A and B are shown apart, each in its own frame.
Chain A
Amino acid sequence: MTSRLRRRPLGWPRRLARLVLIVLALVFLLLFLVLPLTTVFIEAFRQGVGAFVEAIRQPEALSAMRLTLLVATIAVPLNVVFGVAAAWAMTRFQFRGKAFLGALIDLPFSVSPVISGLIYVLMFGAQGWFGPWLERHDIKIIFAVPGLVLATVFITLPFVARELIPLMESQGSEEEEAARVLGASGWQMFFRVTLPNIRWALLYGVLLCNARAMGEFGAVSVVSGHIRGLTTTMPLEVEMRYNEYDYVGAFAVASLLALLALLTLGIKTLMEWRYGDELATHAPGGH
């Protein structure tokens, strides 16, 4: 009965409705997503390739790129180690307060980026909890690189853990138990069984974590102090140039970030097509 219904050809009102819906959705996607993305590149090259190259070769732009790379290189591995540890504890053992731990891991996604920066200013800023002590020992955290790293770590904390937890939950621990029973040491089991099983999901988490770490603006802006050449990451450099009416310069740096976003989307989509079964079916995370 159902198969007969399914084979029934669609009448023209249904086909028209279908066409209208498709066109509406595509027009929205083009106007709302594709157009802003295109604008970034068009504005970046508005005054030609020469001006673009000039804009991204300025020392402030180069130091912003170096700083963005540095911050991501510290923050991402920290959250990878945390993500693996948290996922191992959450999926392989039963303990009290597990749900609370899960909620705590997700928390940074529902906190405003500005508040994520603010909390570290309240801890380490001049009038913060540890401010006077830090000042006496001449340690700078706020308006310096450590503050940028802390804010980035907070913002990107959930990404790896959130990819790994549902996957490891669904994989179960039989293989790991077998390895142990056959005499593998804890680390042998981890590197030979656990890690190969989760590698694609781990890479996927790293990809998203890195994209957010390099692109974060709000949290980093609060702790940065906007000291040119010292504490301005690429997104902050974009802001400063834009506010100085250097539009070509702002969009030139922005186009590099947009390129990173496109690259991330491309790799992410490829991974979903190729290794879909080895990635957890995940709810969308805030990014």
Chain B
Amino acid sequence: MSILRQRVLPGFGLSLGYALTYLSLIVLLPLAALAWKAVGMGASGWLQLLSAPRTLAALRLSLGGAVLAASINAVIGLLVGWVLVRYRFPGRRVFDALVDLPFALPTAVAGIALTTLYAPQGWLGRWLEPLGIQVAYTPLGVLVAMVFVGFPFVVRTLQPVLASLERDVEEAAESLGARRWQTFFRVILPLLAPTLLTGFALALARAVGEYGSVIFIAGNIPGRSEIAPLLIVQKLEQFDYAGAAALGAAMLLLSFVLLVLVALLQRWSQRWAESSR
């Protein structure tokens, strides 16, 4: 059958050739330019760049903030996904559609809207200010923007799994005398863990490199609320191409390492899920 198919269906050379040429020109070649420029800076240049306190602070904020934001999204995403899949209430479908808003809303628009809301005189900032919580123009603001842009990932990865989760398993646990929270932590959570981690990884990857929604609310104070992508932009504006390329390459490498770690965690949680069955 497959031999027949290969002979009957046309266009293999054309479609694959076109796709490969396109990918090479749009993706591979430019990325090669990045690697070339980054390597060309030499070891001493790299050392100087990566040991600068400002670079380190920016990388720490981008990576640390993204890990924190993805963790928050995992918890809230689980809650929202659970409520949308399991319960019936008026307006459920509208709320379900709204989950995708951070995907659809341009990041610059989200950025200025969040800043206006959380600024000291803003609708939300006004209430937080007396509590001593300042969100806009602080690292907390960076976190808020990162949670916003990564929010849909966890909900959308969890929903199909939650829908297909067999209620029998839960009911069996309960008929055996498990309490509701025991069922949740011992039965449901282990089954959801691998999917939860997939959503976590997607939200993480998005937040690490996020730029548009963050720069307005961050206030961009060097060493405090300045994210790594902004530092790249500043290096480009000073025509420091090599520095920008090196920082870009460092960011790509670091997020790659983070995602490999998440994949390892996922493999481990898969075993957990299987053993708890």
Contact A113 B211 (CB under 8 A): yes
Check if B232 sits within 8 Å of A176, measured CB to CB: no
Q: What is the CA–CA distance of A127 and B219 in the complex, to the nearest angstrom?
A: 30
The residues of B that contact A25 with a CB separation of less than 8 Å are 79-80, 82-84
Residue in A closest to B168 when the chains form the complex, CB atoms: A2
User: Which residue from B5, B23, B123, B206 sits with its C-beta under 8 Å from A173?
Assistant: B5
**Contact of B79 with A21 in the complex, beta carbons under 8 Å:** yes
Judge whether A235 is part of the interface by a CB distance below 8 angstroms. yes
Inter-chain contact A122/B113, CB cutoff 8 Å = no
CA distance A59 to B175 in the complex (A): 69
Q: Is the CB of A28 within 8 A of B76?
A: yes
Contact A88 B100 (CB under 8 A): no
Contact check, B19 vs A86: say whether CB atoms are below 8 A apart.
Answer: yes
Residues on A with C-beta less than 8 A from B208 are 112
Residues of B close to A177: CB separation below 8 A: 4-5, 8-9
- In the complex, which residues 110-152 of chain B have their Cβ closer than 8 Å to any Cβ of chain A? 110, 112-114, 116-117, 123-124, 147-148, 151-152
B105 touches A238 (CB 8 A): no
- In the bound complex, what is the Cα–Cα distance between A235 and B113 (angstroms)? 13
Q: Are A153 and B26 in contact (CB under 8 A)?
A: yes
Known A-B contacts A35-B123, A39-B123, A115-B232; A89 and B15 likewise in contact (beta carbons under 8 Å): yes
- Given A119-B30, A177-B8, is A89 in contact with B16 using a C-beta cutoff of 8 Å? yes
Contact of A40 with B by CB under 8 A: yes
Chain A residues with CB under 8 Å of B34's CB are 115, 118-119, 122
The contact of B30 among A86, A154, A262, by CB within 8 Å, is A154
Residue of A nearest to B24 (CB): A104
Query: How far, in angstroms, from A109 to B210 measured CA to CA in the complex?
Result: 11
From B43-51, B186-194, B239-247, B264-272, the one touching the partner chain is B239-247
Main secondary structure of the interface of A (DSSP, over half): helix
Tell yes or no: B29 within 8 A of A by CB.
yes
Q: 1/0 per position for A102-132, CB-CB distance to B under 8 A? A: 0011011111111100111111011111000
Contact A111 B209 (CB under 8 A): yes
Instruction: Give the residues from 1 to 19 in chain B that come closer than 8 angstroms, CB to CB, to chain A.
Output: 2, 4-6, 8-12, 14-16, 18-19
List of B residues within 8 angstroms of A258 by Cβ: 105-106, 109
Given contacts A104-B23, A115-B232, A254-B112, is CB(A286)–CB(B202) below 8 Å? Answer: yes
Is the C-beta of B157 less than 8 angstroms from some C-beta in chain A? yes
Contact residues of B between 221 and 277, Cβ < 8 Å to A: 229-230, 232-233, 236, 239, 241, 244-245, 248, 251-252, 255, 259
| Residues of B within 8 A of A (CB-CB), count | 96
Is B107 positioned at the interface, with any CB of A under 8 Å from its CB?
yes
With a cutoff of 8 Å between Cβ atoms, the chain B residues found around residue A14 in the complex are 180
- In angstroms, Cα B32 to Cα A136, docked, is 23
Query: Known contacts A22-B89, A89-B16, A261-B101: does B109 contact A119 (CB below 8 Å)?
Result: no
Judge if A275 is at the interface, Cβ distance under 8 Å: no
Residue from B151, B205, B210 in contact with A32 in the complex, judged by beta carbons closer than 8 Å: B151
Known: A101-B19, A177-B5, A286-B206. A37 touches B117 (CB 8 A): no
A205 CB within 8 Å of chain B: no
Nearest A residue (CB) for B87 = A22
Q: Is the CB of B33 within 8 A of A123?
A: yes
- Shortest CB–CB separation between residue A246 and chain B, in angstroms? 11
Q: Is the CB of B209 within 8 A of A113?
A: yes
Given A122-B34, A154-B26, residue A268 in contact with residue B100 (CB < 8 A): yes
Considering the complex of A and B, which 10 residue pairs feature the smallest CB-CB distances, nearest first?
A112-B209, A215-B106, A287-B103, A284-B156, A119-B30, A186-B10, A217-B212, A218-B211, A114-B229, A261-B104
Q: Within the assembled complex, what's the spacing in Å between the Cα atoms of A173 and B27?
A: 29
Q: List 21 A-B contacts (CB under 8 A).
A: A2-B168, A17-B180, A25-B82, A28-B80, A29-B95, A29-B99, A39-B123, A82-B18, A86-B19, A92-B5, A92-B12, A95-B16, A108-B27, A111-B252, A121-B241, A121-B244, A128-B241, A176-B9, A257-B105, A262-B104, A284-B156
Check: A204 CB closer than 8 A to any chain B CB. Answer: no
Q: Are A37 and B15 in contact (CB under 8 A)?
A: no
A: number of interface residues (CB 8 Å) = 102
- Taking Cβ atoms with an 8 Å cutoff, the residues of A that contact B are 1-2, 5-6, 14, 17-18, 21-22, 24-26, 28-29, 31-37, 39-40, 43, 81-82, 84-86, 88-89, 92-95, 101, 104-105, 107-115, 118-123, 125-129, 150, 153-154, 157, 173, 176-177, 180-181, 186, 189-190, 211, 214-218, 221-222, 234-236, 238-239, 242, 247, 250-251, 254, 257-258, 261-262, 264-266, 268-269, 281, 283-284, 286-287
Known: A17-B180, A105-B23. Contact between A218 and B107, CB under 8 A? yes
Q: Are A37 and B229 in contact (CB under 8 A)?
A: no
| B60 sits at the interface (CB 8 A) | no
B31 within 8 A of A: yes
- Chain B CB within 10 A, most for which of A36, A234, A286: A36
